[in-house]
Structure 1
Amino acid sequence: MPAPSTMEVVQKSSYLNGWVGDTRPVNSMEIANLYLIVDTLLIIEALSIGFAQTSDSEEVVELFQKGASVAKKQYEALGEILKQDELPIPPSYAAEISGSKTRLFSDRIMVNHIAGLFGTLLSQYGFSLGTIMNHELVASYSTQISKAGAFSEKITRFLIDHEWLEKVPGAISR
């Protein structure tokens, strides 16, 4: 991005366009949040693939493969937004995963880790929505939130069914 030499003021309400008609390029806040989300998706994809190859449980492997698929599809969708404005798309880390099948962590730890990363992803989407002034991004993020949320619920149900989810302390029900 070119560094501005002077302050610029938005002079037209068309700055908010995005559903139909002319759209503006993404601004620096939108770019920063977009890259943060994309980086989280790349980490989720790589860890899910790596964890899947070390688990002995077919059920856990399927869960990780689904997580990697959700992350990859979202990465591709958000990459299209970067492409539209001729911004670089970070490469996937999938090529960095070794072929090792040596088990380092329990399934419980690995599944909880991926669940936490999906929670982080949803938080990042939510934070980013508060800084967006581009309707195209609002629509894209809303779609991705629903997909990530659906998988997050699936993984949470899996953790509950296996009694791997610890209850977070909370207020006393009076």
Structure 2
Amino acid sequence: MSAETNHNIKLTSTELSALWTTYMNDTMAICVLSHFLKHIEDAEIKPVIEYALQLSNEHIQTVTEIFKNEDFPIPDGFGNQDVNLDAPRLFADTFYLHYLHQLGKIGLSAYGVALPACARTDIRKFYNECVESSAELYEKTATVLLNKGLYARSPYIPNPDKVNYVEKQSFLTGWFGNRRPLNAVEISHLYINIQTNTVGKALFIGFSQVAQSKQVRKQMERGSQIAGKHIEVFSSLLSENNLPSPETWDHLVQTSNAQTFSDKLIMVHTSLMCTAEIGNYGAAIGGSMRRDLSTQYTRLLGEIGLFAEDTVNIMIDNAWLEQVPLTADRHEIAEK
């Protein structure tokens, strides 16, 4: 028995936050991946979906056990009521693969943040395993994408003939004068954000077809338009430098309009995508030295922020937003 067990170390707010978020995201992933698995036909992609689904189920089992030991209420999350497994397929097999590839990236980022923020031994062990399994999921998706010739590689650029240092302030110029070519870091951020918006746009199109509420359907159509606009902006910046952009995946959305996922799941999934994209844009702002790029990201970040806020408001109006654990309201306690 560890010293921590003997001393009954409670979960910190950071550990609670990470575990609660993991439970919510993985119960949602189980619904989505279960529907994917029901319709998958490609023999190479099917094992990858099965592996991702297995990981989500294992995560739920571990987190549930921790919450029970801590006498912490198990979140509602998502369940059978949030997915119709008998509904026709909503996406083509190759989209499942692209989706899982992005899922692996998001998992690496989220678990990589959670791991160093946790102190308790069992929680650190859990998130260390989550990082390793997310890396394995990424490897599996990357391998299949490469085998099928579907991996969207970022653009190639010439190797410099020597080490260079920035000598002029004009290196930062973006709006006026001659703009310098994009550097490798800036290209990387543009390419990554095109890819994430491409996945988002296809998801929004699919969700708009199967949403039951007119309000949710309109929000999904709005999300698709925003993602399409951002793809155009980033692609034009690459095009100015004679660099290619990855293809879009709108054509991988099928024509089904049968209820597939609950409106609650659709909106929470949308909110999660907004959170990931806001983080990506923030990283891009920090990594872009040309002024016009940081200004563009800031402007587009504002659009995502407004869309995310409206998404949350719809969730609140429909009682779909499960509340993250709060600290004690000392003023309310004192009043009572």
TM-score (norm 1): 0.94
The one-letter code matched in structure 1 to 2:314 is: F
Q: Secondary structure at the match of 2:207?
A: helix
The one-letter code matched in structure 1 to 2:255 is: G
> Paired residue for 1:90?
246
The one-letter code matched in structure 2 to 1:91 is: E
Unaligned runs of 5+ in 2: 1-156, 331-336
Quote how far apart the aligned CAs of 1:5 are.
3.9
1:29 and 2:185 are equivalent in the alignment: yes
> Paired residue for 2:212?
56
Q: Secondary structure at the match of 2:251?
A: helix
Selected match of 1:119 from 272, 275, 289: 275
> Paired residue for 2:121?
none
RMSD across aligned positions (CA): 1.4
Quote how far apart the aligned CAs of 1:150 are.
0.9
The one-letter code matched in structure 2 to 1:50 is: G
Quote how far apart the aligned CAs of 1:89 are.
1.5
**1:171–1:2 CA distance, 2 compared to 1 (3 A):** farther
1:41 and 2:188 are equivalent in the alignment: no
Selected match of 1:67 from 223, 235, 241: 223
**1:58–1:87 CA distance, 2 compared to 1 (3 A):** same
CA distance in 2, matches of 1:173, 1:20: 52
Instruction: Give the helix-richer structure, 1 or 2.
Output: 2
CA distance in 2, matches of 1:168, 1:5: 53
Quote how far apart the aligned CAs of 1:79 are.
1.4
> Paired residue for 2:324?
168
Identity of matched residues, %: 32
> Paired residue for 2:159?
3
Larger Rg: 2
Unaligned runs of 5+ in 1: none
CA distance in 2, matches of 1:74, 1:46: 14
CA distance in 1, matches of 2:305, 2:319: 21
Kept in 1, the 8 Å contact 2:284–2:294? The answer is no
CA distance in 2, matches of 1:96, 1:112: 22
CA distance in 2, matches of 1:173, 1:28: 48
Quote how far apart the aligned CAs of 1:126 are.
0.8
Q: Secondary structure at the match of 1:11?
A: coil
CA distance in 2, matches of 1:4, 1:171: 54
Quote how far apart the aligned CAs of 1:104 are.
2.7
Quote how far apart the aligned CAs of 1:149 are.
0.9
> Paired residue for 2:40?
none
CA distance in 1, matches of 2:189, 2:173: 19
Selected match of 1:158 from 314, 321, 331: 314
Kept in 1, the 8 Å contact 2:186–2:288? The answer is yes
Quote how far apart the aligned CAs of 1:101 are.
2.4
Selected match of 2:255 from 89, 92, 99: 99
Greater relative CO (CA pairs within 8 A, separation 6+): 1
Q: For each residue in 1:53-74, what CA deviation from the matched residue of structure 2 results, as whole angstroms up to 9, or x when unmatched?
A: 1122222111111111111111
CA distance in 2, matches of 1:157, 1:108: 12
Kept in 1, the 8 Å contact 2:285–2:297? The answer is yes
Kept in 1, the 8 Å contact 2:198–2:249? The answer is yes
Count how many residue pairs are aligned between Structure 1 and Structure 2: 174
